[in-house]
Amino acid sequence: MKVFPETFLWGGAIAANQVEGAWQEDGKGPSTSDMQPWGILGATRERTPGDSNIKDIAIDFYRRYPEDIALFADMGFTCLRVSIAWTRIFPNGDENTPNEAGLAFYDNLFDELAKHSITPLVTLSHYEMPWGLVKQYGGWGDRQTIDFFERYARTVFSRYQDKVKLWLTFNEINMALHAPLTGVGLPENSSESEIYQAIHHQLVASARAVCACHEIIPDARIGNMLLGALMYPLSCKPEDVLKAQQENHGWQFFGDVQCRGNYPGYMQRYFRENNIVLEVTPQDREDLRTTVDFVSFSYYMTGCVTTDDELNNQARANILNMVPNPHLKSSEWGWQIDPIGLRTLLNELWDRYQKPLFIVENGLGAKDSLNADGEIIDDYRISYLNDHLVQVREAIDDGVEVMGYTSWGPIDLVSASKAEISKRYGFIYVDRDDEGNGTLKRIPKKSYYWYQQVINSRGAALK
Ligand code: BG6
């Protein structure tokens, strides 16, 4: 039986705005996520007194985290990926002094993880930013946001320097191209030039955070985070192959800047040919030279691209547009399931960057139901995760350096794209529905015991 390396980190990944709730407690300010009651794909709605948003309570992790962490520990987790809500620390984003109650919450959370010997992997910004910065400054469109972010990053690095040694800058940074409000705090109808300028500011901020992390916590490692949207050519027609390469450049661009320290030639050409003129200062160029220590990414599916217009018109639009792959099955949400693609992507990223890789999201969103005995028999989830983990092990055999695997949503949570709880990813069921009814009770699913075995056997239990 092949086992995973001893140092391999096993666990799960969650994000503040999808689990915590307590959206106004202990001085927290409103974030972009609080203005998206229907998720990233839905409209933005500013808060009015008495309105409701499923995320206001989410799964009440803010209060129930000791119970949840005890369950993660029971499964054998050695790592938990969490995010800090920027608005708990700087409620409007531009304050000079942080909010002590917000800092204290994460102190307690990290202490709880330490009690169970679970290593925290912390994302600085997971799909949310202070609404105050969006309203008053225009989000990442304004260069001042770089300084506000750096202040926030330095504050949390200093505060948690003894507790957190693994950090990530921006979650799925390439999503800004597809969801501008979520990614860079810009309105959905922003021009491409505005979006790329905001992205430039965010890339500079990411590099500055890497620099600050190295300075404040010399023994920490900090990575970027990409949505690993691997695209295949639908056919072997050279035009399709070229188009797939260009589509892949769409996300590789972010990794290339963050790992190599400058803008790649294919992007400069794209800017030239599309009249996109970015304001890039000599100091920005200098800042960008600080690169990440490792590369992390999410992986859910692959897609196909083609130059055939008729087929393109049938493309599935979720957040990304892609033509269905006739060789793959799909989840209930139409995401195509492709375990081998994960091995391909791991090899691709390793070849490209030669930096350690961390799979920080992977999982199956599915509807679960309780049987007559009150159990959740989620064999479909077990099979999805098993098949992906087998491919991770294959990639390690290929020579790829993989630091760990944190499956997405080890406990059911509010989905990002449509704010649904019925799209469940967890090993642990949470009794709450899309309308907010339910006791919030936690129930381990069949997959809970399966993952426990996989971790305890360092992967030998995989089939
Ligand atoms: C990733 C995000 O895009 O995918 C998560 O980083 C998100 O925040 C996950 O929850 C799954 O997407 P969804 O829409 O099913 O929640």
| Predicted confidence (pLDDT) per residue in 27-65, tens digit | 999 999 999 999 999 999 999 988 989 999 999 999 999
- The span from the CA of 128 to the CA of 15, in Å, is 10
Angle at 89 between CA 440 and CA 36, to 5 degrees: 55
- The span from the CA of 227 to the CA of 248, in Å, is 11
Answer yes or no: 361 catalytic: yes
Q: Residues 262, 335: contact at Cβ < 8 Å?
A: no
Query: Which CATH number applies to 9-456?
Result: 3.20.20.80
How far does residue 416's CA lie from ligand 1's centre (Å)? 5
Question: Using only C-alpha atoms, what is the Rg of the chain?
Answer: 21
Selecting among 20, 112, 128, 172, the annotated active-site residue is: 172
Q: Residues 175, 227: contact at Cβ < 8 Å?
A: yes
Sign of the four-CA dihedral 70, 72, 78, 82:
negative
Which of the four pLDDT bands, split at 50, 70 and 90, describes residue 312?
Answer: confident
- The span from the CA of 247 to the CA of 285, in Å, is 25
Q: What is the pLDDT of residue 322?
A: 85
Q: Is 331 in the pocket of ligand 1 (CB under 6 A)?
A: no
Cβ within 8 Å of residue 258, ≥6 positions away: 169, 173, 203, 206, 207, 224, 291, 292, 295
Q: Is the pLDDT of residue 317 over 70?
A: no
Which of the four pLDDT bands, split at 50, 70 and 90, describes residue 213?
Answer: very high
Instruction: With residue 125 as reference, give the H or E element that holds it.
Output: strand 119-125
Q: Is 416 in the pocket of ligand 1 (CB under 6 A)?
A: yes
Q: Is the pLDDT of residue 128 over 70?
A: yes
Mean pLDDT, residues 413-440: 98
Answer yes or no: 20 catalytic: no
How far does residue 415's CA lie from ligand 1's centre (Å)? 6
Mean pLDDT, residues 403-418: 98
Sign of the four-CA dihedral 222, 157, 13, 460:
positive
Q: Is the pLDDT of residue 69 over 70?
A: yes
Q: Residues 131, 23: contact at Cβ < 8 Å?
A: no
Mean pLDDT, residues 230-245: 97
Which of the four pLDDT bands, split at 50, 70 and 90, describes residue 311?
Answer: confident
What's the N-to-C CA distance of the chain in angstroms?
A: 10
How far does residue 18's CA lie from ligand 1's centre (Å)? 9
- The span from the CA of 303 to the CA of 55, in Å, is 30
Cβ within 8 Å of residue 413, ≥6 positions away: 14, 15, 18, 19, 58, 59, 421, 425, 426, 430
Instruction: With residue 224 as reference, give the H or E element that holds it.
Output: strand 221-227
Q: Is the pLDDT of residue 5 over 80?
A: yes
Beta bridge partners of 429: 443
Q: Distances from the Cα of 244 to the Cαs of 176, 229, 303, 336, in angstroms?
A: 20, 11, 10, 17
How far does residue 417's CA lie from ligand 1's centre (Å)? 6
Best residue among 31, 168, 361, 418 to mutate for probing ligand 1's pocket (most ligand atoms within 8 Å of CB) is: 361
Q: Is the pLDDT of residue 314 over 80?
A: no
Averaged pLDDT of the chain: 97
Nearest atom within ligand 1 for CA of residue 127 = 8
Percent of the chain with pLDDT over 70: 99
**Protein residue with its CA nearest to atom 12 in ligand 1:** 416
Q: Is 127 in the pocket of ligand 1 (CB under 6 A)?
A: yes
Q: Is 361 in the pocket of ligand 1 (CB under 6 A)?
A: yes
Mean pLDDT, residues 81-98: 98
- The span from the CA of 208 to the CA of 226, in Å, is 18
Q: What is the pLDDT of residue 161?
A: 98
Q: Is the pLDDT of residue 315 over 80?
A: no
Q: Is the pLDDT of residue 269 over 70?
A: yes
- The span from the CA of 461 to the CA of 281, in Å, is 53
Which of the four pLDDT bands, split at 50, 70 and 90, describes residue 316?
Answer: low
